[in-house]
A = this chain, B = another copy of it.
């Protein structure tokens, strides 16, 4: 059966590098949304708790409920359906309309658009939003934004940071006028955290770096992160093929010599990206994935009982013109996870 191995040592190594930036475990909020970027929500929650992380970020209330026992503080990014409420939960709000729908005493993090123009409240509506929270007896517990270019060598990052700095000052003034406590301020994702020299916000939201990747330009002095996940397939069948024989859909692979090949139980139906004959992909042990990946299996020039299909998503991300996040996150949540020490 296909499985995902989670390397605990590598995860802790990455979390330690993150700690060097934040200076404190209290200032790390680990991003566990989308099944912990494909790594397994509960598995990573458990390991993060063991490491001492106390804050987590998820997408939905359902995810938050599942990990409620592992953390003191959970930020829910994209769900306002608060059928079950917990004192641990903080809800991200992206619009004035959302504020009206929240039940009394809900803890709210306002998201502000500091220049990404994706989600978040416009900065000129912030006063209205904070007054709205106040009038409706909602608790204003956080103010945050997201950078569009923290991973790219561009001045955009400094421009957005400067925007957010100004926004924070305005929000402090509004809070003083209303005599309400200051919210937690946070803006840094993984790339931003490693780009900032003196991190001074209340916490950073760290996703991809925990899992061992950063998509930043190589020009930055990137930390030595180590991928946490490896994907493994189990053999279905082995056969001998002759030189010139073709393998798989469309006969996409043509044997250059007599060879032993096997199929393994990982395909694009498992969320592994479909390779075709246009791309050469070599596994960590030097085997080649032959021709087209099928929905439920793929062919490889070996006959090992189990093979590691990848232990670093970067080669695959490059082949598929995407980012490592997509390679790991798309893996089917039903694939069995095993933690290796």
Beta-carbon contact of B250 and A118 below 8 Å: no
Beta-carbon contact of A299 and B261 below 8 Å: no
Q: Is A120 an interface residue (CB 8 A)?
A: yes
* Assembled-state Cα–Cα distance A97/B128 (Å): 70
CB-CB < 8 A to A116: which residues of B? 247-249, 251
Interface range for A: 35 or more
Q: Is A114 an interface residue (CB 8 A)?
A: no
In chain A, positions 56-95 with a C-beta closer than 8 Å to chain B are 59, 77-78, 81, 94-95
Greatest chain B CB density within 10 A among A37, A116, A248 is at A116
Name the one of B118, B237, B274 contacting A294, with C-beta atoms under 8 angstroms: B118
The residue in chain B whose Cβ has the minimal distance to the Cβ of A241 is B117
Task: Tell me, rounded to whole Å, the shortest Cβ–Cβ distance linking A19 to chain B.
Answer: 24
* Assembled-state Cα–Cα distance A249/B269 (Å): 28
Beta-carbon contact of B261 and A329 below 8 Å: no
What's the number of copies of this chain in the assembled complex? 2
Greatest chain B CB density within 10 A among A274, A295, A323 is at A295
Q: Is A227 an interface residue (CB 8 A)?
A: no
Q: Is A152 an interface residue (CB 8 A)?
A: yes
Beta-carbon contact of A295 and B248 below 8 Å: no
Name the one of B78, B261, B274, B326 contacting A296, with C-beta atoms under 8 angstroms: B78
Contact with B along A89-120 (1 / 0, CB 8 A): 00000110000000000000000010011111
CB-CB < 8 A to A122: which residues of B? 239
* Assembled-state Cα–Cα distance A38/B330 (Å): 13
* Assembled-state Cα–Cα distance A149/B117 (Å): 47
Beta-carbon contact of A119 and B263 below 8 Å: yes
Name the one of B119, B152, B261 contacting A237, with C-beta atoms under 8 angstroms: B119
Task: Tell me, rounded to whole Å, the shortest Cβ–Cβ distance linking A67 to chain B.
Answer: 16
A118-B263 contact, Cβ under 8 Å, with A59-B269, A321-B276 = yes
Q: Is A34 an interface residue (CB 8 A)?
A: yes
A-B contact pairs, 29 of them (CB 8 A): A33-B295, A33-B296, A59-B269, A59-B296, A78-B296, A94-B236, A113-B239, A117-B239, A117-B245, A117-B246, A117-B261, A118-B247, A118-B263, A119-B236, A148-B246, A148-B248, A148-B249, A148-B251, A149-B250, A152-B250, A156-B251, A268-B325, A268-B330, A269-B329, A271-B271, A276-B322, A332-B333, A333-B333, A333-B334
A-B contact sample (12 more), CB < 8 A, given A33-B269, A117-B241, A119-B263:
A33-B295, A33-B296, A78-B297, A113-B239, A116-B248, A116-B249, A117-B299, A122-B239, A148-B246, A148-B248, A149-B251, A332-B333
